[in-house]
Amino acid sequence: MPLPMGQHCDGRGGACAASRHIRSTVFWCLDAAPMLAHRPFVKMNGLGNEILVLDLRHEPEDVPAAAARALARPGVLPFDQAMVLYPPRRADTAAFVRILNSDGSESGACGNGTRCIAAYEAGRIGERHVLFESAAGLLDCVMQPDGQVTVDMGAPRLGWDAIPLARPVADTSAVQIEGFASLGPASMVSMGNPHAVFFVPDANAVDVEALGATLEHHPLFPERANISFAQVLSPDHILLHVWERGAGRTRACGTAACATGVSTARTGRTGRKVRVTLPGGDLVIDWRASDGHVLMTGPVALEFTGTLTSDMITEAA
């Protein structure tokens, strides 16, 4: 395979390494193609957050990062997150969930995706209550009579080392980030994935793409971070725009809404139950006082179903 334009094998490893990476990416996709071909998929969304559901419980197979990136590209099966279902590790759960971002990286949590797989599984088995396990822990889901889904997202992690941050911080609810003093301090929260929430006077005026893309990779975040810009409209209503780690700007992010609800309550800006308005619609976030768990309620939508083909995985490699 030829090297990318403008590169040559200089004997010092740089361009050769780039060439090896490209070949490796293609081989991963080619290796994955026959294993994942003919598997059914379900395309859903939660408030416009594009979700791909792959149910691999009957024939488990790894989904390499390169295959996820190929599937997510325009013209194939664009998604923000893929929810991959594997056989349960616990007898009381429906599945173990692996979450992949559109760039192939893994995430410990995805609120909108969890609502989607809850609706998928509830419809499949005819039950209102479904329990999943992910890398971040258990996800308890309940279908509401109006078709919305409530997910217990667990308790937020507020310690600097649990979020995680690159250095000790005494108060994670107000952290000034070097180089971004004009934004004011951010509130740091983990909902199974790291979040930084900035409070702004006008969320619609923020250049989410420029700021989010830079802040996601700030040295303060060793695992990168989701970046949110929150405008408090009232003690129970927040306007929110989000740059998602590994996916970019999305129409909605459930864990960001949860992190924002925790942040506004923690700093006295709102109560513990709020309505969060995102570009895709509204979520209700309730930071329950009795046990500190965060409950997220919102809608889901089925878009279409289909079957993976080898071309879907290899064409964009």
Just list the catalytic residues: 110, 253
Determine if residue 193 is labeled as part of a ligand binding site: yes
Determine if residue 245 is labeled as part of a ligand binding site: yes
Please answer whether residues 245 and 225 qualify as being in contact, where contact means their C-beta atoms are separated by less than 8 angstroms.
Answer: yes
Determine if residue 101 is labeled as part of a ligand binding site: yes
Determine if residue 6 is labeled as part of a ligand binding site: no
Please answer whether residues 209 and 239 qualify as being in contact, where contact means their C-beta atoms are separated by less than 8 angstroms.
Answer: no
Determine if residue 112 is labeled as part of a ligand binding site: yes
* Distance spanning both ends of the chain, measured CA to CA: 13
Determine if residue 255 is labeled as part of a ligand binding site: yes
Which ranges in 95-138 belong to alpha helices (H)?
Answer: 111-125
Biggest alpha carbon distance in the chain?
65
| Bond preceding residue 168 cis, omega within 30 of 0 | no
Residue in 305, 271, 303 with CA at minimum distance from that of residue 287: 271
Determine if residue 244 is labeled as part of a ligand binding site: yes
Please answer whether residues 194 and 225 qualify as being in contact, where contact means their C-beta atoms are separated by less than 8 angstroms.
Answer: yes
Annotated binding site for substrate: 49, 81, 101, 111-112, 193, 226, 244-245, 254-255
Annotated binding site: 49, 81, 101, 111-112, 193, 226, 244-245, 254-255
